[in-house]
Structure formats: C-alpha cells, structure tokens
Chain A
Amino acid sequence: MDSQQPAPAHPAAQHRSWAQRPAFARMAAHLFLILVGVLFFLPFYWLISTSLKELNQIFTLPPVWIPDPIRWQNYPESLTYFPFLLQLSNTLAITLSSVALTLLSSTLVAFSFSRLRWPGRNLLFFLMLSTMMLPYQVTMVPLFILFRQLGWVNTLLPLIVPHAFGSPFFIFMLRQFFLGLPRDLDDAAIIDGCSEWGVYRHIILPLAKPALATVALFQFLGSWNDFIGPLIYLSDPSKYTLSLGIQVFVSTVGVQWGWMMAVTTVLTLPVILLFFLTQRTFIQGIAFSGLKA
C-alpha cells in the first residue's frame, strides 16, 4: 500500500472520514449531485417534450418547455412513414434468438472452462480472452465476404447465427460466476452417478440464474442497440432492424424534429422499461462484470 508515506502531522481531531462529514458537506454533495442529475435528465425531458410539439413550437426561441397543445400525432405520423411494425418484428426476432443462442452456447463453454479440468483448457481460455482485444474491424470485411458466399447478406442470419458460438465476454463473466459456486456440489453429483451434462443441467444452471439473467439482459441490449451489424448486412427496408430503420428515417426527413424525437422515444422506451423491471440484475451485473474481471 502506498500510504506508508508519513502523513503530514495534522491534529487528528480536524479530520474525519468521508462518511462522518458534517451535515453541511452532505448538503453540498446533494446539491452538486442534484445539479448533475438534472443535467443528465434534461436530454430525456427534451426528447419527450420535443416529440409532443408542433413544428412552430420546436423552431422558436425562447424554447417552449411544456408542449401546448400536446401533439400526439407525431407518433402515428412518423411510425406509419416507414415499415415500423415489420422492423420491430425483425428486431425482436434477432434479439430473442440471439439471447437464446448466447445463453445456451456461452454457459456450455463457461462450464467447460470453469468446472471441468482438462489439458489445454487454460491455453484455450487465454486465447479466448485475447480475442476480446481484437478490433472488430479486422474481421469485418472477411466476414462480410464469408456471409456473402453463404448467401446470407440481406438476411437476418449474420446477426443471429454467430451467437450460437458463444461470446467471449459472456463466457468470461459466466466462468467467473461458476468458479464461485462450491466445488463439492459437482463432486457429490458425480459420486451419485451424474454425468458432466447432468451437473451442467441440474446443478450449475439452476444455481446460475442471476448470472444468466444478466447475460440475457446484456445480450438483449446488445442486439436491440446494435447498429453497425444491420448497417453492413441489411439492405432493403423490409429487413431493417429498428435502429437502422430509424436512422434511415431520420436521414430522410431531416429536420422534422417532432417526428425524429417521436421515433427516437419509441426506440428508447423498451430498454428503459426493461431497465426499471430488472434494475437490480442490471446494476449487479455491471458491477460484477467490472469488478470480478
């Protein structure tokens, strides 16, 4: 530890830990946090309020903070301008199948990398970790050409199928989690005649529910929010995901900010709702992935 350096000799009584500061310091901290919090929240407010404004209230100074009248029509008007429902169903198809595939494949591999002992395991594990540092651009062009040869360009497949092969980040996270489960469980099960598959299926998976929930959430977000994948692989609007479809919509209507904010709200709302429904899993998952790494 670095703190062996002699601390300057101050009278100890003047110093208190952060947690024991006088009320006024807490007050100041609150004020500062509230200020920053408002700044963080303002863009959301700006998003929603613009999405409900008429154009003449959008292009005006001083800004109109509360839309009057509230113009709900921005939503139906903008969402019928492009194949919204079709693109929503594409997005859901990609998102849900990616979640399912990633859960299955990543847990299998993580199980192998954590609960099974076999020669070469650590080597492969470190190889996998190293691929996490590989910039995606290195594989971008060859993968495009590979999928072209498979006839998969302008289909949803390039955005789904790779998830059947595990994601290094999730495998890593799950492995760390699996390692934290008591080893005796496996041994007992093996003695009872359980196979490795049985241990995986009946012991590890049920115990790993919180970790699985985290993986599912992150993958859901990853697929829902993905832009560059759809941008590269999908070319006609009936195949677009919402992210891509909305970007195309926005680049076409330009400065119809009411419409643009309406579709942006629609793209954002599901993940916000998901967050509030699963807040605990989210925060723990982030902290876990960042700390236990």
Chain B
Amino acid sequence: MQESNKSYRVSRRTFLQAAAAGVGSLALAACVMPAPAGAPGGDSTAPDPEKLPIIYWSMFGLEEAKQAQNQVDRFNEETGKDAIFMSIGWGNIVEKVQVAIEGGNPPDMVTLWSQPYTWGPRGLLQPLEGYAERDGFDGTGWSPAAWDALWSDGHLWGTGHTLNVFALHINQSAYEEAGYSVDAPPKTFADLDLLAEALTQYDDAGNLSRLGFLPWRNAPVFHWAWANGATLYDVDNDKITADEDAVLEVLQWFLSYAEKYNIDEVDRFVSGFGDRSMLTEDPWYVNKVGMQIDGSWKRSWIPRYAPDLKYTVFKSPYGPRGSEPISLNEIGAMFCVPTGAKNTEGGWALAHFMAGKQQQIEFGQQVGDIPPLADAARDPEFLSYLPHNELFVELTEGTAGRAWPRMPVLSTYQDEMNRLVDQVVHGKVVPEQGLAELTAKVQKELDDFRQQTAA
C-alpha cells in the first residue's frame, strides 16, 4: 500500500489521547442523559392454535432422538396436529432455551431437568395447572415423589415421562478380582472407603492406573448429604440448611479422598478422558475407574459404547447419620411450555401426550430411566427390559427417592455447592467456613427474590 500523506496522518499518540478523551466524554454524556422509560414487557399473541405448528426442542440426541421423533410422529398421527421435533443436544439446551425465551422467540415445548424450579417462579415458563385440571392430568398412579417434583411454588411447571435415578455402578470384573462378592454390596460410607482402596491401582512408575472411587464424581453433594440424613432445605420456614453437620461430614469425607489419592494426580488422570460421564468415553467403561455413582440411563449406553463391560449396580451406600439407601430422583425430561410460546395450547397437548403410559414405557426402555407412573414402572415388559430395572424402580418407591429441593434459587444452590466441593477437595476452603458462607449467600438470594416478587 502507498505511503499515506504525512500532513493528514494522525499519530498514534494523538489517536490514543483523542480516543481516551472521547470515551471519557461519552461516559459523561451517558451519565447526564435522562433514563429512558421502562423495560420491555413480554407480549403474547393468541392466534388460532389449530393452524400453528408445535415446535419442540429437546435435549435428546442419537438413539434417544430417534425414539423422541417416533413419539412425535405418533402424536401427530393421533391428533392431526403438526409437532416438529428438534434436537438441541443435552450440552447446550439450557442456555439455548433460556436465550430463546428471553429473546422472545421460544419454542412451544421444551425438555429441561431441574431448571423449572428456578425458571418458573421467574416467569420464564407458563404454569400448566389450569390445563392439567381441564384435561384430567391429576397425578393418579404416579409415584408421589415424581408427582411432587413437577410442582413448585404452587404451580405445575411441566410433565415428565422418565425419572433419572442414581445408584452405584461397579466394574464387576475389578470388583471380583479384588475378592468381593456381588452378594455382599457395600452398605455404608466405611464399606465404600475400603472398597475404594481395594479397587485403586498404580502402575510401575507409581502413577495412578485405576481410580477406585471418587464420591463427588457424577453425584451431586445433595445425593450424599441426603444419604447422611441431611435436610438441605427447610420447606416450612423457607430456610437453606446447608450448614447442618450432616452436610459438613460429607464434605469432610470428600476431603479425605482428595488427600488419600492426591487430588492433582486425580484431576490429571480423570481429565485425560474427559471429565463428564455423559460422554461416550467414560473411563469407567475402560476399567480406569472402579466404580461411580451414575444415573439409570447409563445402562442403556453400555451395549453401545462398552459392549464388553461386565458391571453391576448397587444401591448407593449411606453415611453414619443415615439409615437406608437413598437416591436422587430427577425428572429426566420435564416437558415445559415457555413463556412467549406461540402455540401454548399445542405445547401443552404435546407435553400431556408425552406423559402417557405408553410413552413412559417406551422411553424408559430406550434410555434406561424409570417411568414415574407406578403402573408403567412395574410393567413386566419394562422390568425385564434392562438389567437392574427392579433395583432402580425400588429406589423410586417409599422414602428412598429424593427430588431436588423445589425453590426459586435452586440453580444458585446447585452451582454454589458444586463450586464449594471443588474448592474443598482442592484445599482452598475449609468445609465449615465454606458451608456457612454458602448458606448465607443462597439464603440472601432467596430472601431477596421473595422480597422483590412480593410487591
């Protein structure tokens, strides 16, 4: 390029000075300008629902997506409506749905996990109890915990067709090699500690070659805290109770693992495979991890990704303050209707359809998750479909199954807990202090929210 004419040339220094001055004055200008009128409101239109398509965004991919597509096809056939299935992928669906709702351009029905408890009270989802009452969707035959899990703050936020149920998944070859018998599963945290030690192996150079067990891997601290008799959230008083001793002991238990197995070495070892168990390459498949808490869906992936793996599943052990195995039960796919959906009626119709018995059994068989309808879960066809279904169904019955605490700052509560576990096992925070701060922070956010929405 040609030499520019010197006399017109702005020196870099002048440029930067001018820029700095300009930015400063811009900031100043913004400060003195009057504030514009209020924020945008959500506008909803109500065109003829019969003619509109029903846009359905789901988390399902691969085989699950095919099954979901089949169910949508059947829905269309039976009702003559036009539902369109779109796979967003489980890795991104939460962010994408949220941006779509906030951007005013959401689908008519979406699948979520525990987000509705936080999103519903914030107005991002439509309450569905009116439609449910009209159409007779009243929880008859549902496992009580699962039915409760659809509600929070007095509203029905969605329907569901499967429960994610968490239990202890064990590499059976390694387990038996270490001299244990499948007839004597570990019952308590202490049993787990011994087993973990037995399953951990090192190579000749002294590097970790198999990690026996890491309690926080794949399992939220909530799961273990319940197993140790913790409450975590006092519904009646609307109080966060993360500072209970039962939770503290769980964190100390985690810390003992971090120290025993050298957390830096563990991090490096585990991340070599990708840290997320949802992925197709789980180190547990290839005998690099001896056992781990995992969701009921895992069994459906094993024939696909680890056909040679010999494994077994036990109920998750309980802590010194606990008395029985418990399990986090999470609505595996909660079918919700976003605020601003163009076809609310259609979104509800599809969500309602998805919760039907046939859909529950079909999908439960496909993904390994447990139907919330007791009838469907105890259906012989379902029970015999995948190994250990009986055990998982038991974990949804009685007092074993625990739903997430349903309150409007659950997302923060979960995020903060994960963060705290991370900090505790890396020795950055003392458990007592961390829990006290966490409790105060989440409680404040809860109180702020109640106060702001009370007006």
Contact yes or no, A255 B1, CB < 8 A: no
Contact yes or no, A256 B5, CB < 8 A: no
Contact yes or no, B103 A133, CB < 8 A: no
Known contacts: A253-B280, A255-B273, A284-B1. The answer to whether A148 contacts B102 by CB under 8 A is yes
**Residues in B neighbouring A252, C-beta threshold 8 A:** 61, 89-92
Q: Does B96 contact A (CB under 8 A)?
A: yes
Query: Interface majority SS on B: helix, strand, loop or mixed?
Result: loop
Known contacts: A177-B1, A235-B105, A254-B279. The answer to whether A130 contacts B26 by CB under 8 A is yes
- Total interface residues on B, using CB and 8 Å? 45
**Residues in A neighbouring B279, C-beta threshold 8 A:** 253-255
Which of A126, A211, A235 has most chain B Cβ within 10 Å? A235
Contact yes or no, A236 B96, CB < 8 A: yes
Contact yes or no, A127 B9, CB < 8 A: no
Q: Does B22 contact A (CB under 8 A)?
A: yes
**Residues in A neighbouring B273, C-beta threshold 8 A:** 255
A130 to B28, CA, bound (A): 13
- Of B11-19, B235-243, B247-255, B358-366, which stretch is located at the interface? B11-19
Interface range, A side: 35 or more
Contact yes or no, B100 A236, CB < 8 A: yes
Query: Interface majority SS on A: helix, strand, loop or mixed?
Result: helix
Contact yes or no, B40 A145, CB < 8 A: yes
Q: Does B412 contact A (CB under 8 A)?
A: no
Contact yes or no, B19 A132, CB < 8 A: yes
Q: Does B99 contact A (CB under 8 A)?
A: yes
Q: Does A275 contact B (CB under 8 A)?
A: no
Contact yes or no, B15 A293, CB < 8 A: yes
Contact yes or no, A153 B104, CB < 8 A: yes
Known contacts: A127-B26, A134-B26, A179-B4. The answer to whether A235 contacts B281 by CB under 8 A is no
Contact yes or no, B23 A130, CB < 8 A: yes
Q: Does A292 contact B (CB under 8 A)?
A: yes
Q: Does A251 contact B (CB under 8 A)?
A: yes
**Residues in A neighbouring B278, C-beta threshold 8 A:** 254
Known contacts: A177-B4, A179-B9, A248-B89. The answer to whether A131 contacts B26 by CB under 8 A is yes
In the complex, which of the residues A251, A284, A288, A293 contacts B92, with contact meaning CB atoms closer than 8 Å?
A: A251
Task: List 13 extra interface pairs beyond A148-B103, A235-B100, A251-B89, CB under 8 A.
Answer: A127-B22, A130-B18, A130-B19, A130-B26, A177-B4, A179-B5, A180-B4, A237-B89, A252-B89, A254-B276, A255-B273, A255-B280, A288-B1
B: residues with CB less than 8 A from A are 1-5, 8-10, 12, 15, 18-23, 25-26, 39-40, 57, 61, 86-92, 96-97, 99-100, 102-105, 107, 273-274, 276, 278-281
Q: Offer 14 A-B interface pairs, CB within 8 angstroms, sorted by A.
A: A130-B18, A130-B20, A132-B19, A133-B23, A145-B40, A147-B103, A148-B40, A154-B105, A179-B4, A180-B3, A236-B86, A251-B89, A252-B90, A254-B276
